[in-house]
Amino acid sequence: METQGLLVYSYRLKNAIRFATKTHEVYQKQKRKGKDVPYIIHPLAVGLILARAGACEDVVIAGILHDTIEDSIAEKKVTRSMLEERFGATVAALVDDVTEPDKDMPWAERKRVARESIKTLSRDALLLKSADLVSNVVEILDDYALGRDAIFERFNAPKSDIVAHYASAIRIARERWPESPLAPDLLNLEHLLAPLAAEA
């Protein structure tokens, strides 16, 4: 099919959504932690946040794919080279930059390494990481409003550690790039997390 000009909904975007859906939904029916909610909602939300923040197509695609390496199952393992072949070197590098270290590491150490990595991310990777934080923290705050402290039982760490991790990650991201399109969202979430930190 012949196309004219730059497509808003490009074939690369469509293929990224399809690829992420296969990874998270088709191959493993992955759910949000402790909830009967398809996991694919999260990477799609990250892509939407990035699009509304004015990110370029590569960054939006990386947002949609950002958990595919980290969360793919062994039989259908997603690798950086696989993403590079399908979506290009820029997308593959961005996804790799925000992929957390080995999940066999203790939770506290894995999250410490993830927070430290924020300090060296490129602007595009930092925008992607910020969108990921916004999506995750908004969901935690919404769930907390409904279930209070019970929602933290689904995590592998106590409430105090979860809240401290996100508050610290948000602060690092905001201080790294105060003029980020997502800086107001991050600052707002930092304020909203403060009462939870005080309770913990």
Contacts of 46 (CB under 8 A, 6+ apart): 63, 64, 66, 128, 131, 132, 135
DSSP string, 123-145: HHHHHHHHHHHHHHHHHHHHHHH
At 1 the pLDDT is 43
At 194 the pLDDT is 92
Distance, in Å, from the CA atom of 105 to the CA atom of 2, rounded to the nearest integer, reads: 49
For the chain, what is the radius of gyration of the CA atoms?
17
pLDDT tens digits for range 20-75: 999 999 989 888 877 888 999 999 999 999 999 999 999 999 999 999 999 998 89
- The first and second tokens of residue 99, run together, are 């992929």
Catalytic residue among 70, 84, 96, 100: 70
pLDDT tens digits for range 99-112: 987 777 888 999 99
Q: Give the three-class secondary structure for 192.
A: helix
Q: Does position 2 have pLDDT exceeding 70, yes or no?
A: no
DSSP string, 63-110: HHHTTHHHH--GGG---HHHHHHHH-HHHHHHHHHH--S-TTS-HHHH
pTM assigned to the model: 0.94
At 3 the pLDDT is 52
Active site (annotated) includes residue 179: no
pLDDT tens digits for range 81-97: 999 999 999 999 999 99
Catalytic residue among 57, 67, 71, 190: 71
Active site (annotated) includes residue 71: yes
Indicate the DSSP class of residue 31: B
**Domains of the chain (ranges, CATH numbers):** 11-199 (1.10.3210.10)
